[in-house]
Chains A and B, each alone.
Chain A
Amino acid sequence: MDFPSFYMDHLAGGRLIIGLIASLHVLINHPLAVGAYPLLTWMEWWAHKHNRPDIDRLACRITFIVFIITTTVGAMTGVGIWLSTSLFAPFAIGSLLRVFFWGWFAEWLVFISEVVLICWWFLSWRKADTAEKKRKHIKIGVALSLMSWLTMALIVAVLGFMMKPGEWNQTRAFLDAMTNPLYAPQLGFRTFFALMTAAVFIWFTAFFFTRPKVAGDDGPKRLRRWIVYRMSHVVLVSLLGVFLFGTWYWNCIPETMKANSSVALLTQEFMSWHGRFQSLLGWTIVAFVVIGIGGLSNTFTLPRWALLVPSVMGIWLLGHFERAREFMRKPWVIGEYMYSNGIHKDELAFLQSEGLLRHATYVKHREVTEANKAECGRDVFMLACSRCHSTTGLNGVIEKFTLMYGADKPWDAAGMTLFIKGMHQTRTFMPPFPGTDKEAEALVAYILQLRENPQTLRGAQSEGITFAPVAKPVEEAGR
């Protein structure tokens, strides 16, 4: 990549940080924004129509929590995905911004309206004291629900596009990218998932606001029964949507990616989970069904803790969905266009023939020699491997080679070089090695040196940059 390499060695390059920020964002955005706004608006409308000030008060209190969380952690983790991706994969985010400019621009406009509307909606809630003002206030809630759904609808287009670019790589057309085949199922899955989890969230939060304060006061109990009964309906209906759209989504994933996904599930960190995957997925659905049906009963109330079970499982399900979605993209960061290390598909053969170091910018040497071999290998590692691997830490190359070549015996450099060159054949989720044979040997020399002397590889944010003068074209250099 032609940017200074930000790198956090012990966090597998730092990808983990994008993952954490993004997961937190989705976990807030789906239940608390996309799902909760329409449900809270509906509660407000119902309260107005049936003259139930207690329901209105409850909706307002839950909105307070939603308001605080979405305008702090929610908003900033959204921006944080962008800020962190700018560091770890500027080549990818930079390219996506150029292709998706109008998508992002439109999303920004929708996002502005979403922020304005949530502030307006919440801060004017208690001022809406006449029927007419109330009707207007409910309309703000409706607009907010629409806008927050639209934000998600636009960003899902970008996510879907990264998985399966449709015709984009030929036509480079924006509309093609927006109408890619994974779009509708993914959006449907997320919409219903958001509603389902939002219902559980509102249900759970309502317990805190419906505690009987005065002995003999039936009000809180009645309110609690009301919310539980309604929200369990929402859970059951949305669950069906989650199931249907989820199935459609998996059926639409291109075959190669499906093949990859089994690799992902089998060999990577998912390995130990795989056995439990299907049963856990089943249990997640069962958990939501159980509380959904349990909530319909009017002879007993489900205890608060019972809601934590499906919530935790829902988080797990979504987390797994996002991780699998991210992983299935491999070896691409933008399907059939750019590999996960930022190498373009159409420059692969060129770099393999002329050399990765020759055409890079932030490298110390341009030609591999016996004397500078390990130093060159370090730069090759930074360019070709560092977006996914650490040196000696998490998902480290030393760990990977130890699995293959053993911890207690010398490693065969020739074998390792062969492996690196053919790696994309055996590890289909990895991009092909984008350099010359000599550069592969240099990489091996660096790895062997790392094994002898494990040293943290520091990124541009602490080490700064080094750059060799731009190399002359191959012909002029006298080849």
Chain B
Amino acid sequence: MNLLAAAPVPRDLPLPLPVPEWLLVFCLVVFFLVHILFVNLMVGGSVLVVLLEWMGLKNKRWDALAHEVAQTITVNKSLAVVMGIGPLLCINLLYTLQWYSANALTGHAWLMIVPLVIVAFLLTYLHKYTWDTWTSGGKKTLHQLTGLGAALLFLFIPLIFLANVNLMLFPTEWEKVKGFFSSLGIGNILPRYLHFMAASLAMTGLFLAGWFGRRDSDLSHLEGFSRPELRRLFYKVCTCITLAQFLFGPLLLFTLPAAGITTAVYVIIFSGAAVGLLALQQLMAELKSPDAAIGGRYGRIVALFSVVVLGMGSGRHVYREAALAGHQAEVKERTARYAAALAEFNKGQAAKPQPAEQSAEQLFMNCAACHAPAVKLVGPPLTEIAKIYAGNPEGIVAWAKAPGKKRPELPQMPSFAHLGETSLRKIAVLMLEKAAVK
């Protein structure tokens, strides 16, 4: 409990969840993984394209390969965006307070997602559709810079999401956050980022090994590459990076703040890693297999990786649940307490006899903000009004219902027709009385 002493405990929205919680959790985990897969392919793809195009300066065949890879990014990026909406919907519902709070605390960066992604996407299209026209000299450099610009943006934008996903887990830290950059100091963002980036490259490698391995895929643009060679190349990317993940993974796990660490988290993550070892072993076997047989284990490898990813995704959720359990409970308790007090109050209000009609004095409060007895506040003082409407309260009523504009130096009076004729008459009579007393 001490740990949570510094966490703000806000009230939740007084509306029930629209669907059972377990369903939302299931959707969150699964949809998020689908989303992140396409994000991986988009980010990893754009990084690979930059590298391959640069290699292409020396040997044209790499340039052609870079162009082929670039074709895949624009579709993957559209899917990355659209597949992100589902998990966002779920996380908004499941962690309403934590999620929106993290958004607000990193607000400027959160808002910058929109223009940054637009620019990154436009650069990606520019890069793709100028490939055959910006081919030499300064134009080629400009082309490469376009690709680099897009890749750098794709490397930065995930950091904003990561900062939010991370910050929401630690309400006790919220008080320390003063803007996006300071939020990067909380939790273990750097290891998470490295793990994500490595996953992007590994998944892209695996995807391209399959993409170029399709029997009906057209390799006619890729002179100097054979199909097995391409498969082996991207298998190699996937294998090397997956090996590195056995470094980044533990680094991430062991730097996680203690808040959500439970035995279950370890069990799930280590089981995932064990399956990861199997996938790695299969990858190695693929790399060693002869040209004719390469690709035979592709389905198995994809299945194994799916299990790994599902394990990591579930482990991540179990950690989140544990890290937020205390805060969620406190929020629930405070929300219930507030609802009870509110219901009690409203019951008392309903039981009270309906207030009698408002007195003239009460009604006059609507006017007193602008009309003082003897001095001009906003509108003319009562003394002046009395002079104009002496013995004519009906005149005041008519004016209040549809005020005109007589004095150019004063703001126009709003209509008070909604108070009703009877009330306005009461006010008018009182106004004249008040002025007479002065």
Contact B104 A90 (CB under 8 A): yes
Contact A461 B107 (CB under 8 A): yes
B401 → chain A closest CB, angstroms: 13
A128 part of interface (Cβ distance < 8 Å):
no
A87 part of interface (Cβ distance < 8 Å):
yes
How many angstroms from the CA of A361 to the CA of B175 in the assembled complex? 12
Q: Which residues of B contact A422 (CB under 8 A)?
A: 365-366, 369
Most A Cβ at <10 Å: residue of B18, B79, B118: B18
8 A-B pairs within 8 Å (CB atoms) are namely: A75-B82, A79-B81, A112-B83, A422-B365, A425-B366, A461-B180, A464-B177, A467-B175
Q: Which residues of A contact B299 (CB under 8 A)?
A: none
Q: Which residues of A contact B121 (CB under 8 A)?
A: 71-72, 76
Contact A349 B83 (CB under 8 A): no
Q: Which residues of B contact A247 (CB under 8 A)?
A: none
Contact B105 A105 (CB under 8 A): no
How many angstroms from the CA of A273 to the CA of B81 in the assembled complex? 39
Contact A3 B338 (CB under 8 A): no
A112 → chain B closest CB, angstroms: 5
Q: Flag B79-111 by CB within 8 Å of A: 1 or 0 each.
A: 101111110110011001100110111111011
Out of B13, B82, B372, name the residue touching A94 (CB < 8 Å).
Answer: B13
Q: Which residues of A contact B97 (CB under 8 A)?
A: 2-3
Out of A2, A90, A111, A415, name the residue touching B372 (CB < 8 Å).
Answer: A415
A208 part of interface (Cβ distance < 8 Å):
no
Contact B110 A87 (CB under 8 A): yes
Contact A415 B369 (CB under 8 A): yes
Contact A359 B107 (CB under 8 A): no
A394 part of interface (Cβ distance < 8 Å):
no
Interface residues of B in 353-398 (CB under 8 A from A): 365-366, 368-370, 372, 377-378
| Given A82-B88, A349-B345, A349-B346; A460-B117 close (CB under 8 Å) | no
Q: Which residues of B contact A116 (CB under 8 A)?
A: 79
How many angstroms from the CA of A412 to the CA of B89 in the assembled complex? 48
A75-B81, A464-B176, A473-B341 given; name 13 further pairs at CB < 8 Å.
A3-B104, A17-B111, A73-B122, A75-B82, A80-B114, A90-B104, A115-B78, A361-B11, A362-B10, A412-B377, A462-B108, A462-B178, A464-B178
Most A Cβ at <10 Å: residue of B8, B81, B418: B8
Q: Flag A386-399 by CB within 8 Å of B: 1 or 0 each.
A: 00000000000000
* Nearest opposing residue in chain A for B409, CB measure: A406
Which bucket holds chain A's interface residue count? 35 or more
B425 part of interface (Cβ distance < 8 Å):
no
Contact A98 B16 (CB under 8 A): yes
* Nearest opposing residue in chain B for A256, CB measure: B418
* Nearest opposing residue in chain A for B379, CB measure: A404
Q: Flag A417-429 by CB within 8 Å of B: 1 or 0 each.
A: 0110110011110
How many angstroms from the CA of A346 to the CA of B344 in the assembled complex? 12
B434 part of interface (Cβ distance < 8 Å):
no
Q: Which residues of B contact A316 (CB under 8 A)?
A: none
The 4 A-B residue pairs with the shortest CB-CB distance, nearest first, are A461-B107, A419-B369, A101-B18, A80-B114
Contact B13 A95 (CB under 8 A): yes
B247 part of interface (Cβ distance < 8 Å):
no
Q: Flag A440-468 by CB within 8 Å of B: 1 or 0 each.
A: 00000000000000000001111111110
Q: Which residues of B contact A419 (CB under 8 A)?
A: 369-370
Contact B8 A99 (CB under 8 A): no
Most B Cβ at <10 Å: residue of A4, A347, A416: A4
Q: Which residues of B contact A105 (CB under 8 A)?
A: 86, 89
Contact A404 B104 (CB under 8 A): no
* Nearest opposing residue in chain B for A2, CB measure: B10
How many angstroms from the CA of A80 to the CA of B113 in the assembled complex? 8
Q: Which residues of A contact B178 (CB under 8 A)?
A: 462-464
Contact A98 B15 (CB under 8 A): yes
* Nearest opposing residue in chain B for A347, CB measure: B342
Q: Which residues of A contact B15 (CB under 8 A)?
A: 95, 98-99, 172
* Nearest opposing residue in chain A for B5, CB measure: A469
A312 part of interface (Cβ distance < 8 Å):
no
A21 part of interface (Cβ distance < 8 Å):
yes
Q: Which residues of B contact A3 (CB under 8 A)?
A: 10, 97, 100-101, 104
Out of B9, B14, B105, B416, name the residue touching A461 (CB < 8 Å).
Answer: B105
| Given A87-B107, A87-B111, A98-B17; A111-B342 close (CB under 8 Å) | no
| Given A17-B111, A94-B13; A473-B378 close (CB under 8 Å) | no
How many angstroms from the CA of A470 to the CA of B338 in the assembled complex? 11
How many angstroms from the CA of A119 to the CA of B104 in the assembled complex? 34
How many angstroms from the CA of A83 to the CA of B93 in the assembled complex? 14
| Given A98-B18, A462-B179; A72-B118 close (CB under 8 Å) | yes
B419 part of interface (Cβ distance < 8 Å):
yes
B334 part of interface (Cβ distance < 8 Å):
yes
* Nearest opposing residue in chain B for A267, CB measure: B414
A77 part of interface (Cβ distance < 8 Å):
yes
Q: Which residues of B contact A474 (CB under 8 A)?
A: 341
| Given A3-B101, A461-B108; A350-B369 close (CB under 8 Å) | no
Out of B11, B111, B345, name the residue touching A83 (CB < 8 Å).
Answer: B111
B6 → chain A closest CB, angstroms: 9
B158 → chain A closest CB, angstroms: 15
B319 part of interface (Cβ distance < 8 Å):
no
Q: Which residues of B contact A75 (CB under 8 A)?
A: 78, 81-82
How many angstroms from the CA of A466 to the CA of B176 in the assembled complex? 10
B68 → chain A closest CB, angstroms: 14
B1 part of interface (Cβ distance < 8 Å):
no
Contact B369 A470 (CB under 8 A): no
